[in-house]
Amino acid sequence: MNTLADACDWLTDSANWAGDDGVWHRLTQHLVLTVVCLVISCLIALPVALVLGHLGKDGALAVNISNVGRAIPTFAVLVLLLLTPIGKWREGPTVVTLVLFAVPPLLTNAYVGMREVDRDVVRASRGMGMTGRQMLWQVEVPLAMPMILNGVRIAAVQLVATATIAALAGGDGLGRTITAGFNLASTPQVVAGAVLVALFALLVEGVFEAAERLAPKRGAR
């Protein structure tokens, strides 16, 4: 418990929050990194998943990609990219690695969500004379929205968590606070950094949870 008290002391010391190595700066870097990677991943994964789901093709592929994604060590990919020409661009390896790991859950959830839309409803919309495009945007996507958003939530939390690993390879973000603590042999700083990242991840989870609760319920209208 003494360590936790020390970590609290570290956290309440305003000197640790200011400056380039301070918590505020690291927190901002972490946030920017997460948001940028989430947006890029969504732009890549969602169109593919929606089209595949609409056409009903290659379902096994989409789901398997997700499982294969778990099997590849993030850390290994990061270091490999770091040693390639991409490594010369400061945040390059981190962004590519993180996007690579956020795409599988997005893809799988959106695809499964699209396939789980009641086939009778889809057939009915076709019977009403809707074009493929109308069916996609007015029927399938709205009905699949809960699953799609669930994928976005999983991806976001995973990004916050995985972004810390960037620090092992000299990247920016809150992981830096932890690795710097390791190098200084300062347990309070390590624990404080870990607590901050964990809280950040839980906060993201909480924000999505709240958004889901507050969102207007379909069918209630």
- Binding interface with other proteins (CB under 8 A): 3, 67, 70-77, 79-80, 82-83, 157, 160-165, 167-169, 175, 178-179, 181-182, 187, 190-191, 193-195, 197-198, 201-202, 205
Alpha carbon separation from 85 to 4, 79, 92, 101 (Å, rounded): 42, 12, 10, 20
* Shortest distance (Å) from residue 90 CB to other proteins: 16
Within its chain, how far is the Cα of 130 from the centroid? 34
Shorter beta-carbon distance to other proteins: residue 87 or 130:
87
Indicate the SS3 state at residue 157: helix
Enter the DSSP assignment of 91.
T
Shorter beta-carbon distance to other proteins: residue 41 or 74:
74
How buried is residue 136: exposed, middle or buried, by Cβ count under 10 Å (0-12/13-18/19+)? buried
* Shortest distance (Å) from residue 208 CB to other proteins: 11
Instruction: For Cα atoms 17, 19, 22, give the angle at the middle one, nearest 5 degrees.
Output: 35
Shorter beta-carbon distance to other proteins: residue 141 or 157:
157
* Shortest distance (Å) from residue 71 CB to other proteins: 4
Shorter beta-carbon distance to other proteins: residue 54 or 179:
179
* Shortest distance (Å) from residue 73 CB to other proteins: 4
